[in-house]
């Protein structure tokens, strides 16, 4: 009766009554929660058990993932090692063909012909060449031709046409162009400078 009179008199509830009502609601909510947990204990324990089981599962999953990645890395290393062995073998055979068999003397020498002779694929052959000398096939072959051309210029009196024919260039023009591209001098200029150097060396002999 007093509560009603106070409400009708002031037009609003006192603050102490509002706080008391709020506290009562919170207590009732907690009580209901505790009663729910008590009578559903098995379900609650099962929930906690499932939650905790996720931790080792994630750890196991991470461990499994790491093991798989390590296996992949090992496979890559083995594959790269086997590739390097194959590339080295192909390069040794190719070098033997150039240094001993002197295949570069043939102006009609082709990459496909060498690939067929070695007995590998074009892709693997090119990878082997890149892996060992970082050159394409034409530059690799011309290196042997130009090295021999230098020896001929230093030890004999040969024309460009003769040198081109001996070392495997198709023509004197091709020899001239490739020589100047690599050494920055024409064959004639190289020979001239070489002769001047020999004359200078003779002057200092006792």
Tokens at 117, concatenated: 């002779």
Tell me the domain boundaries of the chain: 102-206
d(CA 180, CA 187) in angstroms, rounded, equals 7
Residue 206 has pLDDT above 50, yes or no: no
Say what the pTM is. 0.61
Count, residues in the chain? 206
194 — pLDDT class (breaks 50, 70, 90): confident
- Give long-range contacts, CB 8 A cutoff, 24+ apart: 91-97: 91/128, 91/129, 91/131, 91/132, 91/133, 93/118, 94/118, 94/128, 94/129
Residues of the chain above pLDDT 70, percent: 59
Instruction: For 73-112, write each residue's pLDDT tens digit.
Output: 766 776 888 999 999 999 999 999 999 999 999 999 999 9
Identify which of 142, 151, 154 has the alpha carbon closest to the alpha carbon of residue 182.
Answer: 142
Q: Which CATH architecture has domain 102-206?
A: Orthogonal Bundle (1.10)
23 — pLDDT class (breaks 50, 70, 90): confident
DSSP code at position 108: T
d(CA 156, CA 136) in angstroms, rounded, equals 30
């Amino acid at each position: 009766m007093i509560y009603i009179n106070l409400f009708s008199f002031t037009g609003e509830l006192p603050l102490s009554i509002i706080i008391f009502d709020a506290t009562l609601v919170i207590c009732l909510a907690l009580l209901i929660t505790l009663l729910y947990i008590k009578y559903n204990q098995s379900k609650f324990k099962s929930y906690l058990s499932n939650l905790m089981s996720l931790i080792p599962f994630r750890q196991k999953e991470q461990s499994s993932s790491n093991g798989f990645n390590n296996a992949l890395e090992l496979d890559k290393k083995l594959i790269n090692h086997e590739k390097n062995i194959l590339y080295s073998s192909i390069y040794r055979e190719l070098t033997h063909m150039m240094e001993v068999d002197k295949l570069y003397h043939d102006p009609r020498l082709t990459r496909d012909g060498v690939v067929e002779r070695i007995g590998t694929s074009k892709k693997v052959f090119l990878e082997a060449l890149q892996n060992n000398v970082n050159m394409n096939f034409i530059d690799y072959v011309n290196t042997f031709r130009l090295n021999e051309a230098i020896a001929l210029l230093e030890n004999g009196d040969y024309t460009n046409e003769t040198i081109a024919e001996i070392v495997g260039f198709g023509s004197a023009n091709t020899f001239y162009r490739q020589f100047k591209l690599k050494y920055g001098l024409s064959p004639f200029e190289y020979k001239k400078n070489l002769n001047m150097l020999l004359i200078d060396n003779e002057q200092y002999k006792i």
